[in-house]
Amino acid sequence: MSEQSVADYLRRNPDFFQRHDYLLPELELPHPGAGSAVSLIERQVAVLRDQRHELKRKLLQLTQTARDNEHLLERIERLILDLLSAPSGDELLVRLRHGLREDFHADAVELRWLDQDPQETAMRKLFDKVIMRDEPVCGHIATAQAQLLFGKAADEMASGAVIPLFNPRDRHCVALLGIGSVDPRRFHAEMGTTFLRYLGAVLARLLEHDR
Average pLDDT, the chain: 86
| Domain assignment of residue 129, given as a range | 55-210
Dump the DSSP string for 57-93.
HHHHHHHHHHHHHHHHHHHHHHHHHHHHT-SSHHHHH
Residue 81's pLDDT is 93
- If asked whether residues 23 and 36 sit together in one domain, one would say yes
Residue 211's pLDDT is 59
Cα distances from 168 to residues 35, 105, 110, 172, in angstroms, run 69, 28, 21, 8
- If asked whether residues 122 and 183 sit together in one domain, one would say yes
How many domains does the chain contain in total? 2
pLDDT digits over 19-62, tens only? Answer: 887 776 666 666 665 555 556 667 677 778 888 889 999 999 99
Among 39, 54, 69, identify where a domain stops: 54
- If asked whether residues 35 and 75 sit together in one domain, one would say no
- If asked whether residues 43 and 70 sit together in one domain, one would say no
- If asked whether residues 44 and 116 sit together in one domain, one would say no
The DSSP output letter for 26 is G
- If asked whether residues 46 and 63 sit together in one domain, one would say no
pLDDT digits over 128-184, tens only? Answer: 988 898 889 999 999 999 998 999 999 999 999 999 999 888 888 899 999 999 999
